Amino acid sequence: MIKTLLPRIVLFRKEVVLLWQAFFAPETPFYLKAATAFTAFYLLNPFDLIPDVIPVLGWVDDLILVPLMVSWIVSRLPVKAKADHRERNDRRGDAAGPTIDGRARRL
């Protein structure tokens, strides 16, 4: 179970970063920005589908629904927003530039 959970956690982290950057991109449609805001609101809101007062079930609700909503929104992002995300991450590398072919660096 841990072998399947760890890659999903890493993927969720990358999706959240992509969603954050796409939220401010002008190419992202308004309905996806609204869905992103709703997802953040749902995570922080004390009123859930299953209240957190109920032991375990209240947390399982958040642990399942929020990653599903994030994955759904990321799957509907326009290609341009995803490409901009990749370009920003490439530029963020070393001061020498992003890695090309795994061994050379662009100056």
| Model confidence pLDDT, tens digit, residues 35-53 | 999 998 888 876 777 777 7
- State residue 87's pLDDT score: 65
- Kindly state whether residue 90 falls inside one of the protein's structural domains: no
Give Cα 24 to chain centroid, integer Å.
13
Q: Is residue 100 part of a domain?
A: no
62 belongs to a structural domain: yes
| Number of structural domains found in the chain | 1
Q: Which domain holds residue 71?
A: 2-84
At residue 98, the 3 state secondary structure works out as coil
Does 102 fall in a domain? no
Mean pLDDT across the stretch 86-98? Answer: 57
The answer to whether residue 106 scores a pLDDT higher than 60 is no
Instruction: Give the whole-angstrom CA distance, residue 32 versus residue 36.
Output: 6
Residue 105 domain flag? no
Stronger pLDDT, 33 or 55, i.e. the higher one? 33
Q: Does residue 98 lie within any of the structural domains? A: no
